[in-house]
Amino acid sequence: MNATNRLRRALERGDPVFGAGVATFSPTVIETFGDVGLDYAWLDLEHGGPSPYDSTAFEDLTRAADAAGIELLVRIPTPDPALVRKVLDAGVRTILVPRVETAEEVRRAVRASRFSYDGGVGDRGVGGASRTSRWGGEIDDHVEREDGEALVGVMIENERAVGNLESILSVPDLGFAFVGPADLSVSLGRPMEKGHPDVRDAAERTSEACLDAGVPVGCIRNDPAEARAAVEDGYRVLRVGGDLGPMRAELSRRLDGIGDL
């Protein structure tokens, strides 16, 4: 494994990071993303992919990320502390928790990523035979190292979370918050109307609250100009595309260009 979580280091410096989704869960795509200079590969285990409880599913993915110098950002399906621990032990160091509503569930998820937490004891166990401990080869400094590298973020994507922003963003060691406009629009009764004033207002309230609290905030911006503008507005975690969308668009364009024969 790479010695340090470069995503966490960048956010600690205040630098923006850029990533893209890997819907195919392909190690080849992850390597390619690293080669082109992306900072992270987004793996969505909430809506697809292998079981997040199957640690063997991460082996080739984490190795590909290490080979290409890119971090994996894994969205897990629930804030279950056992799942947080399981995914971290598989060698993933950046976790995104969706659909949170309260500070307490955020705190449980973050605490599950730490051996020491908020001046007390965390809720993570030592896994001697795990990839994150180098299969037991570096178990002696495992605890200190992991507390310095694990990064947990949350999706802000429902009305209740927006209402609880102040308490959620005050959770110690929360790594970042990511605005989820699609689910946010559904929660506000405006399904997929991402440009509706209510949805835009909730997203802006979220980003402003994050900036005020000193918590890095993320968003999806596929257009380069919009991504640059988002960085200027203070966003620091940018998802700027994915594997399937551009591939589909480009192949469709080529077929349209060939036309009927």
In whole angstroms, give the CA distance from residue 68 to residue 41.
Answer: 11
Q: pLDDT tens across 118-133, in order?
A: 999 999 878 766 666 5
pLDDT of 260 reads 86
Q: Write the single-letter amino acid at 112.
A: A
Burial per residue of 36-66, b for 16 or more beta-carbon CB atoms within 10 angstroms, e otherwise = eebbbbbbbbbeebeebeebebbeebbbbbb
pLDDT of 254 > 70? The answer is yes
Question: What is the domain partition of the chain in residue ranges?
Answer: 6-258
SS (H, E, C) 158-217: CHHHHHCHHHHHCCCCCCEEEECHHHHHHHCCCCCCCCCHHHHHHHHHHHHHHHHHCCCE
Architecture of the structural domain at 6-258: Alpha-Beta Barrel (3.20)
pLDDT of 164 reads 98
pLDDT of 40 > 80? The answer is yes
pLDDT of 1 > 80? The answer is no
pLDDT of 207 reads 98
- Neighbour tally for 246: CB within 10 Å: 12
Angle in degrees, CA 208, 229, 158, rounded to 5: 40
* Mean pLDDT in residue range 157-176: 98
pLDDT of 23 > 60? The answer is yes
3-class DSSP assignment, residue 238: strand
CA atoms within 13 A on the CB side of 153: 28
| Entry pTM | 0.93
Q: pLDDT tens across 59-102, in order?
A: 899 999 999 999 999 999 999 999 999 999 999 999 999 999 99
- Is 47 designated active site? yes
Which tokens belong to 190? Answer: 């405006």
For residue 255, what pLDDT band results from cuts at 50, 70 and 90?
A: very high
% pLDDT > 90, the chain? 85
Please give the DSSP secondary-structure letter assigned to residue 102.
S
pLDDT of 140 reads 63
3-class DSSP assignment, residue 117: strand
Which tokens belong to 107? Answer: 């705190």
pLDDT of 93 reads 95
Please say whether the beta carbons of 84 and 112 come within 8 A: yes
Helix (H) or strand (E) holding 215: none
Q: pLDDT tens across 212-252, in order?
A: 999 999 999 999 999 999 999 999 999 999 999 999 999 99
pLDDT of 50 reads 92
Catalytic residue among 3, 13, 47, 197: 47
Q: Write the single-letter amino acid at 122.
A: G
Please give the DSSP secondary-structure letter assigned to residue 58.
G
pLDDT of 131 reads 64
Please say whether the beta carbons of 21 and 240 come within 8 A: no
Which tokens belong to 183? Answer: 């689910």
223 φψ region: left (φ > 0), alpha (ψ -120 to 50), beta (else) = beta
